[in-house]
């Protein structure tokens, strides 16, 4: 068996034979003529001339051996419903959805915008687009009208697919009014809108434009939609990065490279096999949902759990109940979800049989060491931190137990994943930095299969945004700080644009957050840099306590603040001590779990926090205001 180091070396230095091996995990209707065309870097074309299809690899390919096996398991604790679709049933639903789109004039290369909650029809439509060669653009459900309109104008979809409403934490969000407003604002108006009526929010269809999903489904029952065999580099989808300002930035993904990356990652990164059950708690509106709710598990011959709900409803044991019930082998979640569970009754983690579970993977934001230690100790299962971005499409850094079982280290996403020529480089010189030194996490092109191929409709912006910020060389900038220790383990230290400059000292917010989180009373925290007339910037910390009663009185709060300050001073020195520590009930976050640090900074500096369309609970910002 190859070592992890040798496996990674071969992926970069023996690209052709290595990636031919990985490409064997997917079906090629027409064999590719060439593994890589890197004649126009940073643009890369993988598996040139090969023709394949994501839907065929996810559904049809597995019918002979898995027709009656579960493929899509939908659970909603929001509406107390669940449904399991076998591979054959999934095939039938996807064909019907594809026939619906074809009847609306959708064909190869046309765009379909999907603005839906976590319901099976969203997955059917994604796979249906892939089947007929259409390009889907999934926009996170509940996104505000202005932002949705921007994405509609950029993608210019022929059809929009949506629903009457979604639900989160028991609160219904009507989608139809948001969509109607967005379509009023948009200049690139779709020919038709297909609506799934869940009966959650009444709405009035627009005559001549709005179509009922269920009625169309009945009309196309039993339809067979032919598979469109796409050349490997043809686009599969466009996904807009969250938090985009100005013109949306649509990450464009290819077809063949993405299929190969996901098929191989299910084996090598996630150590899975056909017949397993994979449970990713993300949302289909984000890249993790695309790769590891929909395409990855299904292409890998696994069943996938689609969950509409939160980690704490009806109680903090819900995720573990689902693991037990469906025999989940791999759970993929976010550090935020674990920190939420940290505040629940510890018995929730011991109530269910987790013997089927082999490992828990966490991504989406840095996994701090205290949280990692806590969940590892409670579950007694491997906790695997992995680091990646919308742009990469699959993990850049991770343990890869399917290649070699190597010990992980708390606070580290381990090592570069095969295919990623990752480096730590100097932001001022562009040179590679030695172990122990902090620099920018960069990737030497070509980007591997599965990574973004360009920005939709804007090749120049792709090059300008990602490949020009490091001086002296053309490398992809992640815009994240990182370092590598003497043993080769990687550590992510926060965004390059989240560095605090306090009286000439450059401090990473991540480092201070790690220190604060090590205090036994802290559940989670966010540290931001706030403008200061004397020092340029000062660090402000906002802390969520495990037990709020620790700081009920002013005296208790002051004592606890001093105690946490001492921890930071002991670990990082006096210069890293925050100017103040504010205790808050919760941090303002997007639904994908990212803390809205820029909004916190704006409040601290007395400015308008700006666009808050992605915030899950606006009340959290009001609570921060009250503490200032």
Distance between CA atoms of residues 588 and 616, nearest Å: 7
Element (H, E) at 159: strand 159-163
What integer pLDDT is reported at residue 245 of this predicted model? 42
What integer pLDDT is reported at residue 344 of this predicted model? 86
Over range 439-468, report the average pLDDT: 97
Distance between CA atoms of residues 159 and 192, nearest Å: 5
What integer pLDDT is reported at residue 503 of this predicted model? 61
What integer pLDDT is reported at residue 590 of this predicted model? 77
Q: Name residues whose C-beta falls within 8 Å of residue 550's C-beta, 6 or more positions apart in sequence.
A: 521, 556, 560
Q: What φ, ψ does residue 599 adopt, rounded to 5°?
A: -65, -40
| Greater model confidence, 290 or 594 | 290
Q: What is the pLDDT of residues 38-49, one digit of tens each?
A: 999 999 999 999
DSSP string covering 417-454: PTT--EEEE-TTT--B--TT--EEEEEPSSPPTTS--E
Over range 227-239, report the average pLDDT: 98
Q: pTM for this structure?
A: 0.86
Q: What is the pLDDT of residues 145-196, one digit of tens each?
A: 888 998 999 999 999 999 999 998 899 999 999 999 999 999 999 999 999 9
What integer pLDDT is reported at residue 570 of this predicted model? 78
Say if CB 617 and CB 605 are below 8 A apart.
Answer: no
User: 173, 112, 130: which is closest to 26 by C-alpha?
Assistant: 130
Over range 423-442, report the average pLDDT: 96
Average pLDDT, the chain: 92
Distance between CA atoms of residues 286 and 357, nearest Å: 24
243 pLDDT higher than 60? no
By mean pLDDT, which of 142-156, 264-278, 586-600 is the weakest? 586-600
- Strand-pair category, 536-545 with 580-583: parallel
Joined tokens for residue 539:
């660090």
By mean pLDDT, which of 221-230, 301-310, 527-536 is the weakest? 527-536
For the beta sheet containing 192-196, the strands, ordered from the edge strand earlier in sequence to the opposite edge, are 210-212, 192-196, 159-163, 111-115, 135-138, 237-240, 250-253, 454-455
Other Cβ atoms less than 10 A from the Cβ of 571: the count is 14
Distance between CA atoms of residues 117 and 163, nearest Å: 7
246 pLDDT higher than 60? no
Q: What φ, ψ does residue 230 adopt, rounded to 5°?
A: -95, 145
Angle between helices 15-23 and 256-268 (to 10 degrees): 80
Domains of the chain, each with CATH number or no CATH: 4-309+386-480 (3.40.50.12780), 503-627 (3.30.300.30)
Q: What φ, ψ does residue 289 adopt, rounded to 5°?
A: -65, -40
Q: What is the pLDDT of residues 370-393, one digit of tens each?
A: 889 999 999 999 999 999 999 999
222 pLDDT higher than 90? yes
Query: What's the alpha-carbon Rg for the chain, to the nearest Å?
Result: 24
Alpha helices in 186-295 (DSSP H): 213-219, 256-268, 287-289
By mean pLDDT, which of 96-105, 244-253, 526-535 is the weakest? 244-253
Q: Which residues pair with 86 in a beta bridge?
A: 70
Percent of the chain with pLDDT over 70: 96
Distance between CA atoms of residues 501 and 515, nearest Å: 18
């Amino acid at each position: 068996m190859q070592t992890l180091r040798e496996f990674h070396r071969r992926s970069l230095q023996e690209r052709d034979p290595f990636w031919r091996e990985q490409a064997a995990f997917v079906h090629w209707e027409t064999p590719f003529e060439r593994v890589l065309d890197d004649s126009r870097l940073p643009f890369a074309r993988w598996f040139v001339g090969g023709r394949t299809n994501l839907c065929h690899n996810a559904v049809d390919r597995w019918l002979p051996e898995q027709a009656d096996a579960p493929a899509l398991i939908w659970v909603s604790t929001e509406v107390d419903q669940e449904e399991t679709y076998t591979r054959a049933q999934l095939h039938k639903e996807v064909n019907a959805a594809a026939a619906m789109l074809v009847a609306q004039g959708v064909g190869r290369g046309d765009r379909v915008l999907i603005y839906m909650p976590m319901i099976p029809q969203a997955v059917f439509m994604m796979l249906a687009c892939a089947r007929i060669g259409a390009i889907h653009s999934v926009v996170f459900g509940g996104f505000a009208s202005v932002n949705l309109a921007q994405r509609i104008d950029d993608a210019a979809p022929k059809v929009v697919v949506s629903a009457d409403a979604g639900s989160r934490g028991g609160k219904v969000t009507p989608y139809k009014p948001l969509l109607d407003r967005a379509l009023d604002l948009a200049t690139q108006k779709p020919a038709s809108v297909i609506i799934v009526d869940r009966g959650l929010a009444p709405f009035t269809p627009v005559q001549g434009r709005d179509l009922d999903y269920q009625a169309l489904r009945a009309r196309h029952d039993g339809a067979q939609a032919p598979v469109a065999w796409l050349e490997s580099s043809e686009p599969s989808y466009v996904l807009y990065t969250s938090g985009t300002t100005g013109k949306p930035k649509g990450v464009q993904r290819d077809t063949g490279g993405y299929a190969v990356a996901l098929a191989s990652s299910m084996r090598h990164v996630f150590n899975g096999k056909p017949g397993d059950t994979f449970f990713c708690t993300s949302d289909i509106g984000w890249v993790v949902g695309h790769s590891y709710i929909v395409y990855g598990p299904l292409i890998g011959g696994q069943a996938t759990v689609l969950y509409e709900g939160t980690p704490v409803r009806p109680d903090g044991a819900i995720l573990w109940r689902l693991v037990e019930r469906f025999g989940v082998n791999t759970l993929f979640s976010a550090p935020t979800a674990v920190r939420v569970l940290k505040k629940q009754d510890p018995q929730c983690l011991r109530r269910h049989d987790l013997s089927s579970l082999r490992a828990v993977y966490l991504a989406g934001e840095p996994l701090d060491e205290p949280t990692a230690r806590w969940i590892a100790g409670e579950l007694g299962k491997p906790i695997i931190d992995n680091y990646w971005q919308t742009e990469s499409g699959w993990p850049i850094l991770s343990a890869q137990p399917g290649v070699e079982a190597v010990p992980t280290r708390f606070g580290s996403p381990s090592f570069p994943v095969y295919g990623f020529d990752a480096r730590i480089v100097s932001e001022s010189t562009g040179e590679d930095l030695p172990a122990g030194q902090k620099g920018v996490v960069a990737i030497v092109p070509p980007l591997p299969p599965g990574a973004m191929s360009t920005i939709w409709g804007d090749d120049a912006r792709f090059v300008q945004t990602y490949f020009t910020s490091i001086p002296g060389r053309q490398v992809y900038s992640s815009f994240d700080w990182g370092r590598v220790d003497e043993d080769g383990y990687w550590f992510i230290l926060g965004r390059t644009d989240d560095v605090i400059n306090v009286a000439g000292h450059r401090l990473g917010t991540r480092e201070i957050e790690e220190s604060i989180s090590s205090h036994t009373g802290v559940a989670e925290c966010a540290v931001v840099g706030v403008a200061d007339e004397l020092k340029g910037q000062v660090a402000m910390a906002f802390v969520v306590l495990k037990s709020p009663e620790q700081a009920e009185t002013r005296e208790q709060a002051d004592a606890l603040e001093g105690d946490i300050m001492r921890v930071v001073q002991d670990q990082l020195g006096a210069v890293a001590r925050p100017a103040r520590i504010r205790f808050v009930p919760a941090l303002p976050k997007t639904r994908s779990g990212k803390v809205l640090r820029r909004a916190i900074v704006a409040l601290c500096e007395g400015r308008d926090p700006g666009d808050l369309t992605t915030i899950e609970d606006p009340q959290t910002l009001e609570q921060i205001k009250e503490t200032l």
